[in-house]
Structure 1
């Protein structure tokens, strides 16, 4: 329950910052393009602080316009890039699909939506992908090295990601962190959520299995297999910075795991946000 609340806080914080910044940018663009009269706008207020047509007036205008243009451009590029990547990725997945194993696993785990896909691949892979209809992908190499309980634990872990729409949430948080890079809290939220989502998925798998043995065994086995020299990630969700946190949770499930924000990032973020809120307050009054 604690991790669930933490995940909602992280997502809410990032979305709040994004709405604040993007809405102000949208209003400013509407003012520039259509002459919309703005009563409350941070960017217009920044420009109004300088004498019209002075050097600093033009300098600040150029800086703000470049910042807004970059934010819009990087957002559009990342969305288009992700859509194209997902389309190509689907083709690769379905081209490598093992129809026999796919059908067998969907029957075994009673997946009415047929949302598990098994691909022929020697590496041990398991991940969830897709936005509208997330699917779980397992490799034949993974199935070969895991026993029944371990494989079921991995499936339950990925099922949580699927039900929780983690692929979409992580992409949105990543998009926000890249477009609003000048507020480090957005990057912290993105990195934090990736870790928290893994811990929540582990909790879900343990609850479904009734024990942490299957998940623990699978995690240790896959990590061991990875360090034997595999060139690709053992398990997409098992191979990132969340591994240490997950191992700690499995060993000491009752111990709180601090996921801290660097002091410098916190100070910069708070300063920028207070500055923005102060400007909005001044324009209102």
Structure 2
């Protein structure tokens, strides 16, 4: 549970900033729609600093409205992109699905929800995809390459991503980072969460199997390969850029991987957060 607890912290850091932004945007839009009687927020505060009718007032008003529109457009764009990517991926999978192997794998691993899909492909593919109901995607070539223990370890690893809804969490953190790019901690939370969830999934697989041998062997077989599927926030691939961290953790289980965070980043991010909260209270 070591990495599981750390994942809560990193996720919480990113969500904290995202919640503040969403509240502020919501209050600002409510102010525009229903009037300034009750819905005060940091955006209004920035505008009211300057006297209405002055050049400064209209410049700040333009900047605030530009940022609000930009944030909403980015959020809408990401959601639309995910819907489009999901539909495209599902269509592609539908054409490549090996029905016989899919049934066999679900029966073999007692998957009552039939959430394992096997596709005909020469690539070594093992990943979790989908936001609401994540599925595990495997390629026929991967199944051929791995032995029974290694394949079981991969399945348990991907099951952890399903169980903890990692694809959805990554998607949310990525949106927060892309909208709040000026706050260093949002980028830190997004990048480090992607690493930690892989360690959490490995931890889950090792616990279920009682040994790290199957997982370690599978990683070593995949270490010189790559996934041809273009990864986006809907996908959590088994073999990605975190393999070095994962092998280090398997070799030295009690070694704590350093997730460096510059003091400057903390100061900037925390000051922005504190200012936002204070203004929410006093305006």
By how many angstroms is 1:209 displaced?
A: 1.2
Equivalent pairs counted in the alignment come to 279
1:239 counterpart = 2:251: no
Q: Is contact 2:31–2:39 with CA below 8 Å preserved after alignment?
A: no
Find the aligned partners of 2:85 and 2:270 in 1 and give their Cα distance. Answer: 35
By how many angstroms is 1:155 displaced?
A: 0.7
1:158 counterpart = 2:142: no
Find the aligned partners of 2:228 and 2:27 in 1 and give their Cα distance. Answer: 48
1:55-74, CA deviations, whole angstroms, 9 ceiling, x for partnerless residues?
11111111111001000011
RMSD: 2.0
Residue 3 of structure 1 corresponds to 3
TM-score (norm 2): 0.92
Find the aligned partners of 2:65 and 2:177 in 1 and give their Cα distance. Answer: 19
Find the aligned partners of 2:267 and 2:239 in 1 and give their Cα distance. Answer: 31
Unaligned runs of 5+ in 2: none
Find the aligned partners of 2:156 and 2:117 in 1 and give their Cα distance. Answer: 14
SS in 2 for 1:117: strand
1:233-272 equivalence runs, <5 A: 236-240=237-241, 242-272=242-272
1:73 counterpart = 2:79: no
By how many angstroms is 1:267 displaced?
A: 3.1
Find the aligned partners of 1:171 and 1:190 in 2 and give their Cα distance. Answer: 9
Residue 175 of structure 1 corresponds to 175
By how many angstroms is 1:40 displaced?
A: 4.0
Find the aligned partners of 2:101 and 2:178 in 1 and give their Cα distance. Answer: 39
Find the aligned partners of 2:228 and 2:29 in 1 and give their Cα distance. Answer: 47
Find the aligned partners of 2:272 and 2:238 in 1 and give their Cα distance. Answer: 33
By how many angstroms is 1:156 displaced?
A: 0.7
RCO comparison, higher one (Cα < 8 Å, 6+): 2
1:51 counterpart = 2:51: yes
Find the aligned partners of 1:121 and 1:6 in 2 and give their Cα distance. Answer: 36
TM-score (norm 1): 0.92
SS in 2 for 1:175: helix
From the superposition, tell whether residues 171 and 121 of structure 1 become closer, same or farther in structure 2 (CA, over 3 Å).
same
Q: Is contact 2:20–2:276 with CA below 8 Å preserved after alignment?
A: no
Find the aligned partners of 2:267 and 2:238 in 1 and give their Cα distance. Answer: 31
From the superposition, tell whether residues 127 and 231 of structure 1 become closer, same or farther in structure 2 (CA, over 3 Å).
closer
Residue 84 of structure 1 corresponds to 84
Q: Is contact 1:245–1:257 with CA below 8 Å preserved after alignment?
A: yes
Residue 273 of structure 1 corresponds to 273
Find the aligned partners of 1:14 and 1:251 in 2 and give their Cα distance. Answer: 30
